[in-house]
Amino acid sequence: MHTAIVPPKGVWWKPAGKQERMWVTIAFVWCMVLFAMMPLWHLKGGQNPSGIRGRVEPKDYSERVQRFIAEYQVGEEAGIPVVAPPPGSDVYMVGQMWSWKPVLKLQQGASYVLHLSALDVNHGFGLIPANINFQIVPGYDYGLKITPNEAGEYKVLCNEFCGIGHHRMLGKIIVEPAASVADVGWEVSK
């Protein structure tokens, strides 16, 4: 029986065997590979978000969204304004318990800067079925350069738990077709 007072017999103080040294070496080399991949992924990885992130007071962002809606509103869907901004412009969407506002009507093949922010708590912007996901944080304005290349209706769901109405937090982005664009999928450009 071993106790803390009588240490177990062992060989831990002897030098490591050949196989153990080999495995430690392999593990160390692999650690270095993964370590090098972190900056490489950051610089080369296509999954990195484009655009800028800046600070904004939720109140100011809310006012900016209201101005945007007032300027380009073309309709309403279930109480949510539908907004059709001109190609190339800055477009705004805001997450708030528990809705996304407004519904955006974009043109296929046109580029926009999509601004995202939240007014209350963290939300998750999930564009379905394009599978583009961003964490939306109050106090931060996410300016994302986007070029929607495929026409259709996209759902914006919330993928960050934000309270009792989380599962009902659905928004929409409509991409209207342009005949000249052959590419398929969303392009997130630098």
The verdict on 169 binding ligand CUA (CB under 6 A) reads: yes
Taking CB under 6 A as the criterion, the residue among 166, 174, 178, 186 binding ligand CUA is 166
Does 158 participate in binding ligand CUA (rule CB under 6 A)?
Answer: yes
Q: Which of residues 16-35 bind ligand CUA (CB under 6 A)?
A: none
DSSP track, 100-162: EE-EEEEETT--EEEEEEESSS-EEEEEETTTEEEEE-BTEEEEEEEEE-S-EEEEEEE-S--
Q: Which is nearer to ligand CUA, 83 or 118 (CB)?
A: 118
Reduced to 3 DSSP states, what percent helix, strand and coil does the chain have, rounded to the nearest 5?
Answer: 25, 40, 40
Distance, CA of 81 to CA of 92 (rounded, Å): 12
SS3 at position 17? coil
The site string for ligand CUA over 70-109 (x = CB under 6 A, - otherwise) reads -------------------------x--x-----------
Can residue 141 be called a binding residue for ligand CUA (CB under 6 A)? Answer: no
Scanning 39-47, 107-115, 158-166, 171-179 for contacts with ligand CUA by CB under 6 A, the matching segment is 158-166
Taking CB under 6 A as the binding criterion, the range among 32-40, 58-66, 160-168, 175-183 that sits at the site for ligand CUA is 160-168
Q: Which of 30, 35, 41, 161 binds ligand CUA (CB under 6 A)?
A: 161
Q: How far apart are CA 75 and CA 83, in angstroms?
A: 7
What distance in Å separates the CA atoms of residue 145 and residue 132, rounded to the nearest whole number?
13
Among 83, 162, 173, 175, contact with ligand CUA (rule: CB under 6 A): 162
Indicate which single residue of 101, 105, 115, 123 sits in contact with ligand CUA (rule: CB under 6 A).
123
Alpha-carbon distances, residue 13 vs 16, 17, 133 (angstroms): 9, 12, 50
Cα–Cα dist 143/152, whole Å: 22
Q: Which residues bind ligand CUA (CB under 6 A)?
A: 95, 98, 123, 158, 160-162, 166, 169
